[in-house]
Structure 1
């Protein structure tokens, strides 16, 4: 057929590497081992960033005894806490002396009630995979770990509605959904360790927003515990529930500053019968844009993901992880395009025709298409390992921004020139389908000179293009001083007023989001 003459379908490299490599994941335990390793631990952030501690009480033995009586001694940790104090990127380090692990919403409520009465600051923490320092202490806040709230409470294959506790690992949630013929409408590289509650609290996007939209549309309801211990039940089993203010949206993306999400209900679409992935090489970003437009036009109803990786990001991953199998190599840009549908023959014909037409026009130079589940996983693994490869052996400034599509990649070229030889790698990859670029600037180690060249320039540049300084990772601690680049003063003042109303004593995740 026509497509065969234009593109020889390459088989993804045989799975010669052990299956353990293909399933390499960053577990929560591995994250904590990374953070608690003896090498290159950051200074305490309170000291390095000159953070003035808030007017909070100091933890004492009576408080610890109270929590031990409430939770049991096994769930009150006072030793070996580095893994809870240090963020995933090892840029933020707190000095918490206490980690609490409640096992129910009632226990979360009791903890917050006591902390509010005593004015003890608290930082909610899930899988601690965030990139903006939003889930670790800045000073000596108590860490409220939601690890034990890890159950999938129900999955209804008829309605597609799942109810899950906030501490459930995303991958475990997805496995349970798949057993019912459903899929969780959120997929992240950190899915083996991140918690669904943390995903909701940061309004995480992931690789399939182009198909399923963001979490504001997928989350039907939440249960949240307020700073005073009051449980706010905003759970719902309906997509259409037009009864007053939609307060659930206040907690989606609020990063634990308004309340602690303990449970949620989510609409999970039925799993597709046919999934195909194309991995293609292109010569320029102009060709990337043309290919994306054609993907929307010609793949339409089956297009589920559209990712871009530039050459430097691709080479970093391939060089760092020898178990990765690259179906093609040697191109300035790569795109990973996924389709999901119900008719395998129809879907494969469409994606083959799409790529064949792109090659005929000279926009696509080479590529591979597969519907084999194992080979689909191999290709996705390339994309998933890029972020980890960039931090494996170097310091990396990571920026998660939304930009207009026409200017999507321009900031990478600008930053490459701006940083010059100070940077070892400047690259970009991300979710082309929803204009979310991950800009990375790597160097051998942190130094002020390159930091001053990068910030606040990256936010100023984004603001001039009317983009967003945070597309899906939140504001946390690292971006709080730059919020004004994306929000006007009136909006920020209203955010402050809402924070005061929900948390008058300011105990929930202080030093984050708002100054």
Structure 2
């Protein structure tokens, strides 16, 4: 089930089977000057059907939204074998219930997704990446607010990682850090259609926030395909990032910087495994309280954990909290769960931002859904899968 069925070059509507690998689809649509609206670290192996079933978020949700907004239609098979054909390539179809949304994010418990129709945006002509060091998390939030106001529609990603996140990756995986050691790091990416226009906006943003002290140091680079090996002088702080990677003092850094930055960010999740057993929590929290849980957990796990660190997508409130311990123990588990979910609930957050509920968290779902919502979910499950044969033991807790 890995066939690409059609691609409308005018509307950007891609129709394909659920077994297509995300990176394969991205490479295919790029030939038509389009881009998949979803980008994940696992894009080389994950299937679009799984992405839809888990409503995957990814790195550029800030720019392109989640799959609920990008999916134009789905085909799914119910437990009794009935094929529900909701494949449409229209942005507007207001005919009754939006049945496709039943299957997006339901983790295969209501039906098996077999085909999808995805809206693919135009491939950006100008792509820029900045990696900055800041002094504290309050500065991260101020920088995010400034980036939204200054960069507007071209802001595609705003990522944060604390020092322990980056240092564990540098030390464990021997990856280079393109800038010095800082308490917090911010990754800013822009997608636009006009290099000159985007460069002007980014230049004003950088100059203002370097002068204000929010950005202490950093490096800015353009998409590798747009880089040129040039000896052109760099004027001011950051002017010619579209032709070479430069640091905040205008020193040319060279081409590897782009891959180095994204590799550093995407490798955080795996780096902690070299320290021992890793408890991974994927939660969303209101922006003002985004980082609150990390210091709380550090204090709670003092003497038990090797490291507690946080990183993630500031733009959509999704923080990944990793707790590494020398080895798995029930004592550590009991200290973390349900404590972390109780704290997330107090902050009016979600216990699963983008990784889903699966079979690990059904008995914690009540921290994010009230009894009325859970009851309605049970009714839908009973209606569509009365024998409980679709992905059993997932999402819903036992009655």
TM-score (norm 2): 0.90
SS in 2 for 1:498: helix
Selected match of 1:346 from 173, 177, 197: 197
Partner of 1:314: 166
Task: Report whether the alignment pairs 1:399 with 2:281.
Answer: yes
Task: Report whether the alignment pairs 1:334 with 2:179.
Answer: no
- Cα distance, 1:392 vs structure 2: 4.1
Q: Contact 1:311 / 1:333 at 8 angstroms: preserved in 2?
A: yes
SS in 2 for 1:468: coil
Q: Contact 1:203 / 1:252 at 8 angstroms: preserved in 2?
A: yes
Selected match of 1:247 from 73, 77, 99: 99
- Equivalents in 1 of 2:76, 2:324: separation in Å? 38
- Equivalents in 1 of 2:180, 2:364: separation in Å? 38
Residues 372 and 266 of structure 1, relative CA distance in 2, 3 Å threshold: closer
SS in 2 for 1:207: coil
- Cα distance, 1:393 vs structure 2: 4.7
- Cα distance, 1:214 vs structure 2: 0.9
- Cα distance, 1:321 vs structure 2: 2.0
Partner of 1:132: none
State the superposition RMSD in angstroms: 1.0
- Equivalents in 1 of 2:359, 2:142: separation in Å? 37
Summarize the alignment of residues 354-365 of structure 1 with structure 2, pairs less than 5 Å apart: 354-365=205-216
Selected match of 2:131 from 264, 271, 279: 279
**Residue correspondences, number:** 366
Summarize the alignment of residues 20-39 of structure 1 with structure 2, pairs less than 5 Å apart: none
Partner of 2:231: none
- Report runs of 4+ in structure 1 exceeding 3 Å deviation: none
Structure 1 residues without counterparts, runs of 5 or longer: 1-148
Partner of 2:242: none
- Equivalents in 1 of 2:117, 2:179: separation in Å? 41
- Equivalents in 2 of 1:313, 1:421: separation in Å? 19
Q: Contact 2:126 / 2:193 at 8 angstroms: preserved in 1?
A: yes
Q: Deviations over 1:181-230 (max 9, x none)?
A: 11001111111111111111011101111111111110000000111111
Partner of 2:345: 463
Q: Contact 2:126 / 2:198 at 8 angstroms: preserved in 1?
A: yes
Q: Deviations over 1:455-475 (max 9, x none)?
A: 001100000010011111110
- Equivalents in 1 of 2:327, 2:192: separation in Å? 45
Q: Contact 2:275 / 2:324 at 8 angstroms: preserved in 1?
A: no
Partner of 2:367: 485
Task: Report whether the alignment pairs 1:366 with 2:248.
Answer: no
Structure 2 residues without counterparts, runs of 5 or longer: 225-254
- Equivalents in 2 of 1:260, 1:391: separation in Å? 32
Q: Contact 2:76 / 2:84 at 8 angstroms: preserved in 1?
A: yes
- Equivalents in 1 of 2:198, 2:259: separation in Å? 18
Q: Contact 1:156 / 1:180 at 8 angstroms: preserved in 2?
A: no
Residues 175 and 392 of structure 1, relative CA distance in 2, 3 Å threshold: farther
Selected match of 1:439 from 321, 331, 341: 321
- Equivalents in 2 of 1:217, 1:188: separation in Å? 17
Q: Contact 1:307 / 1:432 at 8 angstroms: preserved in 2?
A: yes
Summarize the alignment of residues 111-510 of structure 1 with structure 2, pairs less than 5 Å apart: 149-322=1-174, 324-373=175-224, 375-510=257-392
Partner of 1:9: none
- Cα distance, 1:320 vs structure 2: 2.1
- Equivalents in 2 of 1:457, 1:353: separation in Å? 44
- Cα distance, 1:391 vs structure 2: 2.5
TM-score (norm 1): 0.70
